[in-house]
Copies of this chain bind each other. A is one copy, B any other.
Amino acid sequence: MIEKKKMVKRKVRQRRVSSVDVAREAGVSQATVSRVFNRTKGTNVSEETVAKIMQTAKRLNYRPSVIARSLQQNSTNIIGIINRNFESNFHMQSLDMFSRELQKLGYSTLLLNLPEDGTMDATLHLALEYQVDGIILTSTMLSSRLAEDCISYDTPVVQYNRYSLYQEVDSVCLDNFKAGNEVGKYLIETGHKRIAFVSGRKESSTSIDRRLGLIHSLDEAGLPLVAEYTGEYTHESGCEAADAFIHGISRDQWPDAVFCGTDIAATGFIDHARRAYGIRVPEDISVAGFDDTPMATWPQYDLTTVMQPIETMVQETLEILMDLIKYEKSGVIKKMIPGTLVKRSSVIDRR
């Protein structure tokens, strides 16, 4: 049996045309070619030579090597985005927006994924080895040891969608506590007495803060959290939560409002509560979500939820990062972005 691969010619990657080639062909020095491809800042080259060089460059299909330039300039124009997962709409949209905005700013995006098993050492170091000009860390926090590494590499980092009061790292994050608190206050205002919570991932600090915000509002009103369920970012989790809150429980013990930490869980809750238990939403139970995904506007849900202003968050993150790249760091920035409560019909006024 013959291995197919063995029969094929091994490839030696050919040398690309370089500025030297263009220079030789055009009868000028290599430096002049370089000047032509960088004459943004008043580098003076005669019209004539410019024309000649551009022409032969085009003929030889020459394009400057960003890599060589990076080496010489000590700057790659690459931003590393270290990504934890793509599980939610929020993450996808954020990534999309980051890479588009970076492109507009003249940067490219090096996309790095955290391995499932967790440690980000290797991933972060990879980014540093690529000499990226900056790093955006989504939904993860930097250990102080790794933060040191970034500093010693003089590579700015901004955390997105995660923050810690005890860290020197700049961050941009939705104010999940406040948002959770506002949902709670709204549910209380509208006359709900028996409020329950469905959490996203247990370890997720965003979920934890939303929950704490809710509880704070309940405490102030002297109300209990009557039930809670911890799941994943899935429709099924919402279904399970409905079972947990309703199955085998007498009607007067049901919650009259359920705050779900994610829209997707809210849809699951609503669907299952209706189908399996004939519960009317919002007449029997009000439901609120989080994220304002497209599904929130589907007529059967018409979900009261919290909108995360992704565009603003991305812009703020990039602004901080660009400043860190250009100017000396002075102090730590922890930007908390407020969410917006979007009121729809899935929460009813019970007063």
Contacts and interface: CB of A to CB of B under 8 A. Distances in A.
Interface of A: 5, 8-11, 13-16, 61, 63-68, 70-71, 74-76, 78, 81, 85-86, 92-93, 95-96, 99-100, 103, 108-113, 125-126, 128-131, 149, 152-154, 234-235, 268, 271-272, 275, 294-295, 298-300, 323, 325-328, 330
Main secondary structure of the interface of A (DSSP, over half): mixed
Contacts of A153: 16, 61, 63
Contacts of A113: 96, 99-100, 103
B330 A8 contact: yes
Contacts of A109: 110-112
Given A108-B112, A327-B10, A15 B74 contact: yes
A9 B11 CA distance: 49
Copies, count? 2
B326 A14 contact: no
Nearest to A239: B299
A99 B82 CA distance: 11
Contact of A129 (B9, B66, B81, B92): B66
A212 B312 CA distance: 43
Nearest to A9: B328
Nearest to A274: B300
B8 A328 contact: yes
Contacts of A16: 74, 131, 153-154
